[in-house]
């Protein structure tokens, strides 16, 4: 598959806190995005070089509770616990480039790729892989699974003018996306299988999983975590 980094996901207890977190590290605050009624969330976004962007996402207090679990693990106790300490870099999404078709690929490997659900926001239309329980994607092995935000969500835009193109491009460039995980080799195997091994560097750790983005800014290289 031909994959590219589509966007980085900052989970936040609310959009203001998430925007302040990003601005404190990168020096630029995300701008207004929109709501996702199907998921009960809303976001703010920030364009970057290389056809990618950054998204701050939070549960929308004005939205009705969705009929299904929210995406990016926002309903999970693990994510809720981390959010008590503030916003953090929770996840990333890899874009499936045409002529490949995400839905067809998922149908071929339903045990390895989560369902690709259709989404829309205004003029934007896309498909995104979301496990039925809303959890962050993981790669399954014989004795363990590896994920915790390091294994990407897959996205395919069904419009040409997707946010990586249409958002105002700020003076920000992702230099390196890296992850730390106790099952690093298992995670590397999964990333290689989907064609994303070159997009993120995975390091072995005895501590908890972590996702870090090294971003070039007007004031130097900063690490968003």
How far is 208 from 224, CA to CA, in rounded Å?
Answer: 17
| Domain 3-169, CATH among 3.40.50.2300, 3.30.365.10, 1.10.10.10, 3.10.180.10 | 3.10.180.10
The string of DSSP letters for 111-160 reads TTS--EEEEEETTEEEEEE--TT-PPP-EE-SS-EE-TTSSPEEEEESSS
Cβ-contact 91, 153 below 8 angstroms: yes
pLDDT-derived band at 141, boundaries 50, 70, 90: low
pLDDT digits (tens, 9 = 90+) for 33-75: 899 999 999 999 999 999 999 999 999 999 999 999 999 999 9
Residue 147 has a CB neighbour count (10 Å cut-off) of: 22
CA distance 113 to 109: 6
For tokens 């496990």, name the residue.
131
DSSP classification of residue 56 = E
pTM of the model: 0.94
Tens-digit pLDDT profile for residues 2-34: 899 999 999 999 999 999 999 999 999 999 889
Q: What angle do CA 5, 162, 13 make, to 5 degrees?
A: 70
């Amino acid at each position: 598959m031909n994959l590219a980094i589509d966007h980085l996901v900052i989970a936040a207890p609310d959009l203001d806190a998430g925007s302040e977190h990003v601005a404190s590290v990168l020096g630029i605050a995300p701008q207004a995005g929109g709501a996702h009624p199907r998921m009960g969330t809303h976001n703010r976004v920030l364009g970057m070089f290389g056809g990618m962007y950054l998204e701050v996402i939070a549960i929308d207090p004005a939205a009705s509770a969705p009929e299904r679990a929210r995406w990016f693990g926002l309903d999970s106790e693990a994510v809720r616990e981390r959010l008590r300490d503030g916003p953090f870099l929770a996840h990333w999404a890899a874009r499936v480039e045409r002529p490949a078709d995400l839905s067809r690929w998922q149908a071929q490997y339903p045990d390895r790729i989560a369902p690709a659900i259709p989404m829309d926001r205004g003029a934007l239309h896309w498909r995104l892989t979301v496990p039925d329980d809303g959890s962050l994607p993981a790669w399954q092995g014989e004795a363990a699974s590896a994920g915790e935000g390091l294994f990407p969500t897959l996205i395919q835009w069904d419009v040409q003018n997707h946010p990586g193109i249409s958002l105002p491009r700020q003076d920000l460039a992702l230099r390196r996306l890296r992850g730390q995980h106790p099952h690093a080799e298992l995670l590397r195997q999964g990333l290689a299988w989907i064609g994303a091994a070159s997009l993120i560097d995975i390091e072995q750790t005895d501590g908890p999983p972590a996702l870090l983005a090294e971003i070039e800014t007007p004031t130097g290289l900063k690490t968003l975590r």
